[in-house]
Structure 1
Amino acid sequence: MSKTIKELEALVQPWEEWKRASAALEETVPLLQDSDPSLRSLAEEESVALQETLNTLVQEVLPPLLLPVSPTQDVSALVEIKAGAGGEEAGLFAGDLLRMYTRYVDLWGRDVSARGDPSGASGKGWKTTIISESLTATTGGRPAYKEVTLEIKGRGAYDTFRWETGVHRVQRVPATETSGRMHTSAVAVVVLPLTENETEGDAALFEVDEKDVRLEVMRARGAGGQHVNKTESAVRLTHIPTGITVSMQDSRSQHTNKQYAWKVLRSRLFDRKLREDAERNRDTRRTLIKGMDRSDKIRTYNYVQDRVTDHRTGFSTMNLSNVLDGEGLEVIIDSCRKRNEEDAMAGLLNDG
């Protein structure tokens, strides 16, 4: 009950404001016909201001508050970044995206309830941890990643970063390119819901039966010296009903590898459940932004034109460095969020 009350609190203030503005507008109607010019002029000014307030409430404030509450509003996120076509250049851009996301959390990573509130302390509630990484090279002090998994813990992290799922394309002239030709590379980003049954709400939302998971331990492979040959620290988890497999060997501790492997496995299974639910729900499927499929190209970063374009909403900005520094990414994510809210409201109206 307390959770429901908290969810409805956001609707109370704008609804009360709507009623006050509507009542005040009705009171100005007779004054617009008053014989006193000065009084009539004041009534006209007040009427215009009240109509603007009502329009703002109807068009911008109330619609998202009337939408069904997201089932993942309290869920954290796992962000998997994998270099695709483009060789080392793709690996370098994977590192750029990793920095962009960590910078975004530093700048905007407050509790979702404080978003847009000037009094909300920056950084409140969200924390980032790299739980797995695979480097291909380091160029000029910049790491090139084959793949990296970033944990973003905090209320609302998944619902914010879910719009990053898809293929990110970069067009730029590599530092090693002597002829000045522009190269096109791609990086795939998959954002998964992270739930670890830390709260009663998470436990009710999604659980994994440990009896359905097969655990295997083995010696780590690759660089690592004598430790690799002597310690069985690598862990592989297999979810038998679905066949989903997660391997982890980044840490020298088998316990730590097991802990991280469980995080990734739960997230992938939770993501699978959400997608299956969406497929079964016609309304949910219809209101998803085009391009949510993880194989779709969602965004292009063009260094030559200093431009970033999101292909789902058509939003473009000419300040690429601001986006990669994390600050400008909020505008792009917000455009995806608003587009989704508009589509969801259209779906509700059509059903009505």
Structure 2
Amino acid sequence: MSEHESGDRLAPLRQEHARLQESMADPALHDDAGRARRVGRRYAELEGILEAADRRDRTAADLATAAELAELGEEDEELAAETAQLRERLEAERAHLEELLAPRDPDDARDVILEIKAGAGGEESALFAAEMLRMYRAFAEAKGWRTEVLTSSPTELGGLKDVTVAIASRGAGAPGDGVYAHLKHEAGVHRVQRVPVTESQGRIHTSAVGVLVLPEADEADESELLSEAMAPANLRIDVFRSSGPGGQSVNTTDSAVRITHVPTGIVVSCQDQKSQLQNREQALRILRTRLLDARRAEQEAVSSAARRSQVRTVDRSERIRTYNFPESRVADHRTGYKASNLPQVLAGDLGDLIDSSRRAEREARLAEAAREAADADTEERP
């Protein structure tokens, strides 16, 4: 992308950035927490784009100066080396800016609610679900994000039948750095091949774990999109005693909470917190996010847009990734990425895997934008 081409696209973004800067200086903005958060997200996104454009422009100017000196016959080995570095830097900065300007998922800047569910494979699947939770928490910690287990169902051997965890960034940032931007491609069925700890014959078993990644609902969503859906008349709230591994009761009080959204039939149960009030708050948090996801699915269906592909049934045949322990290999079946670094991946080193999916998404979005532009150009012709 040339400086002229990107300049045409940057001009309206600079104007929007200036307007948002004025809005953020207005104390009245913060009377509406949801709107303030949306403005902050968009401002951070534009700030990142404009800073990248400024860096590219400075590098382009430095390269032009170096070229002028070379034309005057002042080039030497040091100037030649600096010119080569500037060219390389300019190419990288142009590519980075192009990525920032590419069409993106509007939810990329959001935090997430991530659900891990054991599937085919019984106890072995539950054990791997627990390993996946540790893997995602390690990745989040390396990114400086916060994690909070909202609800879980442990097994007697230390596995997890299912677990729901909130993963949040520690502040506003560019959407490309958002939690959802990184983790949304983890949604689907993950297959594991290894010898289970319960296997006495040394045979390799195949198990499956399902992962669902939802952009978390915030105050703005509740006030603008979910106010009617979350009305008290639409909620049935039941309380019961918490249970531990194997189903045994671990509490003598009714601290666990089950909330049913009557119109949709969505049910959320929470029992991990110590008090009924805390469990109720966690259940409502998950319910809001699931309702938001359902609402957006309906909107996308009406507009004939393709629903984000997230596997909701845990079937070994519908895999997105395989973790092969005997070969220490991990393979992503959507992007073709393969690597023999399984221990590092399970320790949270997911960067290359996630980057391969993000590149594929970016290329698909750019291709779709090009098709839409071509279609629009065709329609405008007489």
Whether TM-score is above 0.5 comes out as: yes
CA distance in 2, matches of 1:178, 1:70: 47
Q: Aligned to 2:156, what secondary structure does the other structure show?
A: strand
CA distance in 2, matches of 1:39, 1:259: 68
Retained in 2: the 8 A contact 1:235–1:249?
Answer: yes
1:343 counterpart residue number: 364
2:131 counterpart residue number: 96
Give CA deviations for 1:23-66 in whole Å, capped at 9, x if unaligned. 455556677666x5x7387776565444433322333x012211
Q: 1:158 to 1:7 in 2, by over 3 A?
A: closer
Amino acid in the other structure paired with 1:16 = D
Retained in 1: the 8 A contact 2:189–2:311?
Answer: no
1:82 counterpart residue number: 117
Q: 1:74 to 1:181 in 2, by over 3 A?
A: same
Shift of 1:297: 1.4
Give CA deviations for 1:210-267 in whole Å, capped at 9, x if unaligned. 245222324337421672xxx4444332223322222334456332222222112111
CA distance in 1, matches of 2:193, 2:255: 40
User: After superposition, where does 1:314-333 map in structure 2 within 5 Å?
Assistant: 314-326=336-348, 328-333=349-354
**Structure 1: unaligned runs, 5 residues or longer:** 111-125
RMSD, matched Cα: 3.1
CA distance in 1, matches of 2:271, 2:82: 67
Confirm or deny that 1:54 pairs with 2:90. yes
TM-score, reference length from structure 1: 0.78
2:152 counterpart residue number: 133
Shift of 1:190: 1.1
1:119 counterpart residue number: none
Q: 1:87 to 1:131 in 2, by over 3 A?
A: same
CA distance in 2, matches of 1:168, 1:294: 12
Q: 1:133 to 1:343 in 2, by over 3 A?
A: same
CA distance in 1, matches of 2:293, 2:124: 29
1:116 counterpart residue number: none
Retained in 1: the 8 A contact 2:116–2:212?
Answer: yes
Retained in 1: the 8 A contact 2:103–2:365?
Answer: no
Amino acid in the other structure paired with 1:94 = A
Identify, as 1 or 2, the structure richer in helix: 2
Shift of 1:107: 1.8
1:223 counterpart residue number: 248
Q: Aligned to 2:155, what secondary structure does the other structure show?
A: strand
Q: Aligned to 2:367, what secondary structure does the other structure show?
A: helix
Identify, as 1 or 2, the structure richer in strand: 1
What is the percentage of aligned positions where both structures have the same residue?
A: 37
- Between the two proteins, the alignment pairs up a number of residues equal to 319
Q: 1:159 to 1:204 in 2, by over 3 A?
A: farther
Q: Aligned to 1:147, what secondary structure does the other structure show?
A: strand
TM-score, reference length from structure 2: 0.72
**Structure 2: unaligned runs, 5 residues or longer:** 1-19, 22-39, 172-177, 374-382
User: After superposition, where does 1:145-164 map in structure 2 within 5 Å?
Assistant: 145-154=160-169, 156-164=178-186
